[in-house]
Structure 1
């Protein structure tokens, strides 16, 4: 019996040893063939088996194999790259696998280990959506998010002397555009704008841009479009330090920290910067400077469990502005706390819950036009906003239903003291406001699978949205209350498909959108009444219009000596009719805008973009064009009606070079004097060039970053209030990651 036991133990030992000998662990990293950037989320699996994994944020993978042999093949598959198969013998000597970028993304690709989280734009109606991924802007020398967004042919950046940057989409005003951070509203309750100079691009995964007024999910704030800034959850470093130098004694430095604890991803970044510019025409011996400084903190933690994601973040920005010519200074503190959950609740799936608190504090002091007069403006703003969202989606075989409830609870304390030298008059405004905004939304999507080979998918979508707003105001002991309620309907049809090497997507939207007067606009109306101006009762503006889009892409590889590898073409047409369009105007020397309603306004346009890819997509050529017809330039001040962009991008052996050329048309606005009379002011059209060069070098676990940029290469001599607008500027950025 003892001998039998010993024999069994020996056989078991031999069996385990044989199995262990037949196990093999394959490791490596996957990169883009042209840019040499790491590729996250690549499916790596054994051909004709269920054994597989995915690459992490560093493009690395580790895969255990049983019973390997020389003919075993590993498959590398990603939606944006050609499928690659490599036999095991070759993998033993390869440390890095390079994938070839595709022109047309792979269709119906299933990610076995995990899938990319969607930010919610897929739940909205089909629209003109542009996805700007990090490989297109990271380490390219762009100063901030606004600096990069201006490369899109449909976006115009408005930069104030204080350094604040806002954007308009399709000729719209900045307060018509909603800015989100990971789906959380960033616009202040005060004026419904957000300063995009506060957004650093280094830890951003992608920018999602919705163009047009047909968005439903994002509410009245996205009256002309939405920009969603999606941060990275997993980072490809533990520590990063970066330093930028540039024209006007500008520069900033930043430190970022990240650590992966299995499914928990904490991160923190700090950035500090500033600039100093001298006004032209300064008095002899008297230096007049424009000084900007900023300090940014961003902290986040993400927790993945099962198919769910819980995220929390805190963002704080401190801005300082000192205008020595006009003795103006501004101190601004912006804070955002947010909590977001996406996933299942008990037995119910597809929930999205968000809660955020936005705090804004701003102090402004401004002197009159003369250098020696006393201060004529002292302004203090305290804005608070709490936002909550509950979304639920139901999926069926041929349809989807989406319900959402949104609540905004905001308050404002506004205090102004103004002195008018010409009239020797001092006015004081002190007002408290609160707003409660309820939004209810329902979307139904019906999917139709057609037998047609050319148009296999045809969808029809319907949306109904109701908004209820209550504004309460208190001034000089008097309290007033105003209520609005509006219901809007939208319709959309969508078709898409792929045949051979041609992919296509088209849509048609029609409907209404609503925008309520902001707190700033209502304060403006109070100021006008206090100065014995005409009484202004602001009303919500309504937009009715259509949006038509067609997107095509083709892969020409495989043909006999093709001149190009592939191409892309997009064409968009839209037209919007506005009722009670809110119009702004400014008085020289007076910082507060005046607002009124224009009974009827209209804007229509055409946008197109073409891309060609050559030399295995190492060279990309892109042309963008937009043309708008604006009925009332006062309702859309300082918006050009034409823009042209041309880009040449080269990616080879880890080097990246980009030339960006652009032409922007004349910008026309209206100035209002103290007597209420309007006069037209225009900025001439212009053409210019930007250059960007980037190279990363890796030495063991260290990655060194270097990029150089030249902006406005043609160096136009154009000034506004003594500051150059289109002069040549240089930037150099260096960094290291571990």
Structure 2
């Protein structure tokens, strides 16, 4: 009994000798929660880290007097607060930095939260963080990414949005969702309107064709969409309404269980647009989308994590005027593991399965079309990184297996004029090695200088497993048959960085080549009947070199601007056997052929100025390209300029986005075999986004108002639809 009393007294004494400090760390301007802040006492073992909601909890001895608590984050000024102040203050506000601090370790950082694209060789990379687009009123990923100077978005009548990077075509961009390849095996294109922004952590964008890690199809860039793992809420609901009878509702659920994180998201969206000469609502375009996604993240050990994901997306499009309908369904499941496999350390493993189904029907005057695409794809990526004091070496293997079932029937006045059906199996093996040196330049301004190499080999096999059926005239030019292609490429890159108290500089240069194999839809392409049979498409090749420099500068004068950030990149892409797409009047089929050579030379630049402790951020972007053969890159602006002014203060966020796109030129093939030029005029306008969030106990309410194309401009009509018109949207939501 005495021992029990003694234990209780000791326990109460220990409890009394402890003090618990807790609070929330916020951005001083936007009042957004700051995740990953190290909270600690210098030269001691006491420390913790803020969670996704910016909250921290630090247990300290009660007799600890006169010490300061340090708050340190790579993107914010270091702040030290006396321990007595934290006993009463609930919130800690950090001032953003112009120059990020040197990399620091963040206690408890998720293994899968590291930037994946940096595992590739150094090249032009852009990170678009969630703080840039979260709760800001962008409709989808395509709507957001078109604000980038180097990216152009093409929107079809069905609402499908494809994008191009650096003047390339839509099938030159590889789209990844947390590493899972999303491009269709049929045409290597992805619809970015299917990417909802409500549960994303960031976009990782590689601009250029010198990627080795992500395959040869990335002829102009890679976009990796990273979903959120941890959330600062349990339940979030938001609703958007606006122009075109837009309605968009999103529900998100998140629950952590120990070191596991589970999330589920559901989105239901609809839109209806009338043709300008429509007699009634029946002659309208309607779009309906539904998304389901579930994500399970499990931290299963030191530097080891498992991520399981499932996504379902369905789109329905109906055109009452042209009696056209499209139905698309995507189902994707994936498993991703990062960590050790037995004694083998630093392993990345990804396995994914994707199903895509599309049904299209068109009845226009006396023409009828029925089109069906079914494809199933399996992806498996595994790589191992070997690390030493002098270098890192990544050795990886990629497997992509796809089966495509395609049918296209077209009739006129009940007479068949076009019939094509085939089943194709595609098997793609890839091996990649990336060597990165770790040479330190010294103790002066220049900190590091790296020379990196990559080697990639690809082996692709196409097998026509089903019977190719076509009408007699079309069959003569059909290019679909068994293929076997191989390609090996070496890439070279250098990287250097320098740092001092008020300035940081980064520079890179790379050189390499790449080979892109014809997609299945390109092989199905046929020429016009009067031009005779077409030759099989040959793989296209690109040789590219690129260089860039990035400078951060902080002002030491408190009465001047806070600092600035400048970036400039130049590149040259030289193509041989470039695929050229073209259309013909009266025939709703895209044709392809090879042209001997093409070239794109470009310069991209951006400049940021930060004022009033980064309350105001002014960003100017410029992309200027010289395209030698515009028929191979149809409807691409060779000049784009953007100007963004962002104001963050006391929970308010205002964004002004001004943009200028030059004219876009494309060609159609006439019946006599010549090309006719089509031009879309230059476009200048302004978008405005105004957001406000309110903290209410353990919850939050947020409101956003967005206006698109608010400047008065000449009306532009395409296929009976008004484009480049004014649009307005209101978004309201809450979370707990």
Q: Is the CA contact (8 Å cut-off) linking 1:332 and 1:361 kept in structure 2?
A: yes
Shift of 1:696: 0.9
Q: Pick one of 244, 255, 266 that aligns with 1:248.
A: 244
Matched, 1:190 2:186: yes
Counterpart CA distance in 2 for 1:530 and 1:119 is 50
How high is the TM-score relative to the length of structure 1? 0.95
Q: Pick one of 561, 564, 588 that aligns with 1:564.
A: 561
Q: Pick one of 90, 93, 97 that aligns with 1:95.
A: 90
Shift of 1:603: 0.3
Which residue does the alignment assign to 2:717? 719
Q: Is the CA contact (8 Å cut-off) linking 1:119 and 1:230 kept in structure 2?
A: no
Matched residue SS, 1:147 = helix
Shift of 1:18: 4.0
Over the residues paired in the alignment, what is the CA RMSD in angstroms? 1.9
Matched, 1:359 2:355: yes
Shift of 1:704: 1.0
Counterpart CA distance in 2 for 1:285 and 1:143 is 27
Which residue does the alignment assign to 2:621? 624
Matched residue SS, 1:259 = strand
Which residue does the alignment assign to 2:473? none
Shift of 1:9: 8.5
Q: Pick one of 430, 443, 461 that aligns with 2:421.
A: 430
Higher deviation after alignment, 332-341 or 484-493: 332-341
Q: Is the CA contact (8 Å cut-off) linking 2:693 and 2:701 kept in structure 1?
A: yes
Instruction: After superposition, give the CA deviation of every residue in 1:617-676 in whole Å (9 maximum; x if it has no partner).
Output: 100101001100000001100000000000100000000001000000000001124554
Shift of 1:530: 8.0
Which residue does the alignment assign to 1:667? 664
Q: Is the CA contact (8 Å cut-off) linking 2:287 and 2:316 kept in structure 1?
A: yes
Q: Pick one of 397, 400, 411 that aligns with 1:408.
A: 400
Counterpart CA distance in 2 for 1:653 and 1:281 is 46
Q: Pick one of 218, 223, 227 that aligns with 2:214.
A: 218
Q: Is the CA contact (8 Å cut-off) linking 2:423 and 2:467 kept in structure 1?
A: no
Counterpart CA distance in 1 for 2:559 and 2:586 is 61
Instruction: After superposition, give the CA deviation of every residue in 1:256-312 in whole Å (9 maximum; x if it has no partner).
Output: 111110111111111111111111223x56851111111111111111122211111
Shift of 1:99: 0.7
Which residue does the alignment assign to 1:549? 548
Counterpart CA distance in 2 for 1:674 and 1:288 is 31
Instruction: After superposition, give the CA deviation of every residue in 1:126-149 in whole Å (9 maximum; x if it has no partner).
Output: 011111110110000000011111
Q: Is the CA contact (8 Å cut-off) linking 2:425 and 2:465 kept in structure 1?
A: no
554 and 115 in structure 1: CA distance in 2 versus 1, 3 angstrom threshold: farther
Counterpart CA distance in 2 for 1:477 and 1:486 is 28
Matched, 1:347 2:346: no
Shift of 1:702: 2.5
Counterpart CA distance in 2 for 1:619 and 1:114 is 29
Q: Is the CA contact (8 Å cut-off) linking 1:696 and 1:705 kept in structure 2?
A: yes
Counterpart CA distance in 2 for 1:361 and 1:14 is 69
Shift of 1:360: 0.9
Q: Is the CA contact (8 Å cut-off) linking 1:474 and 1:480 kept in structure 2?
A: no
Instruction: After superposition, give the CA deviation of every residue in 1:68-94 in whole Å (9 maximum; x if it has no partner).
Output: 433122111111111111111100110
725 and 533 in structure 1: CA distance in 2 versus 1, 3 angstrom threshold: farther
Shift of 1:587: 2.3
Matched residue SS, 1:563 = coil
Instruction: After superposition, give the CA deviation of every residue in 1:578-602 in whole Å (9 maximum; x if it has no partner).
Output: 0111110122443331011111000
Matched residue SS, 1:522 = helix
Counterpart CA distance in 2 for 1:32 and 1:336 is 36
Q: Is the CA contact (8 Å cut-off) linking 1:72 and 1:87 kept in structure 2?
A: yes
18 and 148 in structure 1: CA distance in 2 versus 1, 3 angstrom threshold: same
Shift of 1:17: 4.5
Q: Pick one of 40, 46, 52 that aligns with 1:45.
A: 40
Q: Pick one of 431, 441, 456 that aligns with 1:440.
A: 431
Matched residue SS, 1:175 = helix
Counterpart CA distance in 2 for 1:624 and 1:458 is 28
Matched residue SS, 1:71 = coil
Shift of 1:241: 1.2
Counterpart CA distance in 1 for 2:63 and 2:166 is 57
Matched residue SS, 1:103 = coil
Which residue does the alignment assign to 2:511? 510
Q: Pick one of 50, 54, 59 that aligns with 1:55.
A: 50
Shift of 1:222: 1.4
Matched residue SS, 1:190 = coil
Residue correspondence of structure 1 range 291-330 to structure 2 within 5 A? 291-306=286-301, 307-330=303-326
Shift of 1:393: 0.3
Which residue does the alignment assign to 1:267? 263
Shift of 1:19: 3.4
Q: Is the CA contact (8 Å cut-off) linking 2:240 and 2:247 kept in structure 1?
A: yes
Q: Is the CA contact (8 Å cut-off) linking 1:715 and 1:726 kept in structure 2?
A: no
Matched residue SS, 2:438 = strand
Gaps of 5+ in 2: 470-479
Counterpart CA distance in 2 for 1:224 and 1:703 is 40
Shift of 1:15: 5.5
Gaps of 5+ in 1: none
Instruction: After superposition, give the CA deviation of every residue in 1:409-442 in whole Å (9 maximum; x if it has no partner).
Output: 1011111111256x96522111111100000001
Higher deviation after alignment, 267-276 or 602-611: 267-276
40 and 397 in structure 1: CA distance in 2 versus 1, 3 angstrom threshold: same
Which residue does the alignment assign to 1:125? 121
Matched residue SS, 1:448 = coil
Q: Is the CA contact (8 Å cut-off) linking 2:162 and 2:189 kept in structure 1?
A: yes
Matched residue SS, 2:193 = helix
Matched residue SS, 1:661 = strand
114 and 132 in structure 1: CA distance in 2 versus 1, 3 angstrom threshold: same
Q: Is the CA contact (8 Å cut-off) linking 2:422 and 2:468 kept in structure 1?
A: no
Matched residue SS, 1:634 = helix
Aligned residues: 723
Counterpart CA distance in 1 for 2:421 and 2:205 is 38
329 and 449 in structure 1: CA distance in 2 versus 1, 3 angstrom threshold: same
674 and 335 in structure 1: CA distance in 2 versus 1, 3 angstrom threshold: farther
Instruction: After superposition, give the CA deviation of every residue in 1:159-208 in whole Å (9 maximum; x if it has no partner).
Output: 11110001100001010001111111111111111111011111111111
Which residue does the alignment assign to 2:476? none
Q: Is the CA contact (8 Å cut-off) linking 1:529 and 1:536 kept in structure 2?
A: no
Q: Is the CA contact (8 Å cut-off) linking 1:571 and 1:609 kept in structure 2?
A: yes
Matched residue SS, 1:260 = strand
533 and 706 in structure 1: CA distance in 2 versus 1, 3 angstrom threshold: farther
Shift of 1:476: 3.9
Matched, 1:595 2:592: yes
Matched, 1:534 2:529: no
Counterpart CA distance in 1 for 2:152 and 2:36 is 34
Instruction: After superposition, give the CA deviation of every residue in 1:81-138 in whole Å (9 maximum; x if it has no partner).
Output: 1111111110011011111111111113122333562242121010111111101100
Which residue does the alignment assign to 1:28? 23
Counterpart CA distance in 2 for 1:536 and 1:639 is 27
Q: Is the CA contact (8 Å cut-off) linking 1:517 and 1:539 kept in structure 2?
A: yes
Which residue does the alignment assign to 1:486? 487
Which residue does the alignment assign to 1:731? 729
Counterpart CA distance in 2 for 1:69 and 1:686 is 64
How high is the TM-score relative to the length of structure 2? 0.95
12 and 534 in structure 1: CA distance in 2 versus 1, 3 angstrom threshold: closer
Matched, 1:81 2:46: no
Q: Is the CA contact (8 Å cut-off) linking 1:119 and 1:183 kept in structure 2?
A: no
Counterpart CA distance in 2 for 1:218 and 1:431 is 28
Matched residue SS, 1:714 = coil
Which residue does the alignment assign to 1:384? 376
Which residue does the alignment assign to 2:389? 397
Which residue does the alignment assign to 1:573? 570
Residue correspondence of structure 1 range 599-610 to structure 2 within 5 A? 599-610=596-607
